[in-house]
Amino acid sequence: MQQLSPSQVPNVHEAEPIPEAARAAIEALMQSGDLFRYTAPQNAPVALLEEEFAQLLGSKYALAVSSCSAALFLSLKALNLPRDARVLIPGFTFAAVPSSVIHADCVPVLCEVAENYRIAISDFEAKLDDVQAVIISHMRGHTSDMDAIMTLCAARGIPVIEDAAHSLGTIWHGRNIGTLGAIGCFSFQSYKMINAGEGGILVTDDADLVARAVIMSGAYEHNWKKHKGAPGDNTRDLQEAFAKWQNQLPLYNLRMSNLSAAVIRPQLPELARRVRDGLKNHDYIADQLNQSPHINVPAPLAPEQRAPDSIQFNLVGMSSEEVNRFAALTEAKGVKVQIFGLSKDNARAFWNWQFMQEIPELPQTRAMLMQACDVRLPVRLTRSELDVIANVLLSAMDEVMSAAAA
């Protein structure tokens, strides 16, 4: 990659190249035309991806689909919830999350999110007795207190779906995020740790849940026979579950194409490096930003080891006018800072989810969104590129706040 001069601001929307190995796999698919996951009798790229991903995460089963949103939708359908079941989700997440709840004929219930971007456990607990399922969205890879959440939900027999779209590689007490709840969902959209343009995958240890999800994803007739667990898994549970659900479920056809799997598979061995670099880059910039009295990068929770590809920070002790000036000045200097609550029609601000029947007021979450900044930090950035970004943010802050003091 070409080295940028320090005065140049790096393009944070530019992706890392796809590993060379993907070319040969794609060329073979071009030759054979075998793009559909169920054409080959076995070992289609999508099936291999599922085995590899399940093994990587330490889960029994994986199902690759068209997006993380599709995975969330199928997870809710797999739980066999009654129509209009209430599903608790955080008030700070991407609009795809309440959308998946509505798509599954359920009703989203929002709970408060604290200043550190994690679920406010007291509000979560207060709303828990009135819901049938929970989606924990680890927004921007920030892990909520999963010890408290799993204990509270287990005591009530409430299933937990993890939206780990942005958490691939994140660890909680040594365990992979996405494997703590009944089902974990991940995204391969371009802004996530593994980039296929589009794509998603769900993992679970529950044969019944995965069998239902597999059939509804579009494994019509006996195509489910091409689904296996992680290597070494005893497949009898799975076979029995498929037999039980044969012809009992509607098909939504949310399958992944072999082309996407061919792009994803060679990226799996890159994950550990990306996670390491992403965390190092994040912490390097966080240390610089935390020097400013007007910036606070919230610390991770103690059991959490993060895998960030962006940074979030709160603006502290600034008027709304100063916040606006900071946003304008950083943009003029070439770094786009998204302030979730300020940018118009933001898909992560709950008051814009007007497709919901009822939008509650969440004062704590709203206050956080009005001061929370978001900057993309692709893991390929070099130290000097990180310095450029940090300098833009800190010098803009200096200009705004010294003008205010004068």
Ligand X SMILES: *Cc1c(COP(=O)(O)O)cnc(C)c1O
Per CB under 6 A, residues contacting ligand X are 67-69, 93-94, 96-97, 137, 139, 163, 165-166, 187, 189, 200
DSSP-assigned letters across all residues of 384-401 = HHHHHHHHHHHHHHHHHH
Q: What is the rounded distance in angstroms from the CA atom of residue 34 to the CA atom of residue 214?
A: 20
Nearer to ligand X by C-beta: 379 or 392? 379
**DSSP state, 43?**
-
Backbone torsion region of residue 345, taken as left when φ is above 0, otherwise alpha when ψ lies between -120 and 50, otherwise beta? left
Q: What is the rounded distance in angstroms from the CA atom of residue 18 to the CA atom of residue 400?
A: 40
Beta bridge partners of 374: 312, 338
Minimum Å gap between C-beta 165 and ligand X is: 3
Classify the C-alpha dihedral 62-66-68-72 as positive or negative.
Answer: negative
Q: Is 86 helix (H, G, I), strand (E, B) or coil?
A: strand
Nearer to ligand X by C-beta: 267 or 288? 267
Nearer to ligand X by C-beta: 97 or 297? 97
Residue 152 CB coordination number (10 Å):
18
Q: Are the C-beta atoms of residues 52 and 186 closer than 8 Å to each other?
A: no
H or E segment to which residue 287 belongs: helix 271-289
Minimum Å gap between C-beta 31 and ligand X is: 29
Minimum Å gap between C-beta 26 and ligand X is: 21
E strands, 214-321, in order: 295-296, 304-305, 310-315
Minimum Å gap between C-beta 302 and ligand X is: 22
Minimum Å gap between C-beta 261 and ligand X is: 15
Beta bridge partners of 301: none
Q: What is the rounded distance in angstroms from the CA atom of residue 303 to the CA atom of residue 324?
A: 35
> Residue 128 is encoded by which pair of tokens?
């828990």
Nearer to ligand X by C-beta: 67 or 314? 67
Q: Are the C-beta atoms of residues 225 and 13 closer than 8 Å to each other?
A: no
Minimum Å gap between C-beta 188 and ligand X is: 7
**DSSP state, 184?**
E
Nearer to ligand X by C-beta: 87 or 96? 96
Q: What is the rounded distance in angstroms from the CA atom of residue 398 to the CA atom of residue 374?
A: 19
Nearer to ligand X by C-beta: 132 or 260? 260
Minimum Å gap between C-beta 262 and ligand X is: 18
Minimum Å gap between C-beta 313 and ligand X is: 18
Q: What is the rounded distance in angstroms from the CA atom of residue 218 to the CA atom of residue 312?
A: 38
Nearer to ligand X by C-beta: 206 or 374? 374
Minimum Å gap between C-beta 116 and ligand X is: 16
Nearer to ligand X by C-beta: 202 or 207? 202
Nearer to ligand X by C-beta: 93 or 371? 93
Minimum Å gap between C-beta 230 and ligand X is: 22
Nearer to ligand X by C-beta: 187 or 288? 187
The whole-angstrom distance between residue 313's C-alpha and the CA centroid of its chain comes to 18
List the strands of the sheet with 310-315, edge to edge: 295-296, 310-315, 372-376, 338-339
The whole-angstrom distance between residue 299's C-alpha and the CA centroid of its chain comes to 19
Minimum Å gap between C-beta 15 and ligand X is: 15
Q: Is 32 helix (H, G, I), strand (E, B) or coil?
A: helix
Nearer to ligand X by C-beta: 144 or 189? 189
**DSSP state, 226?**
G
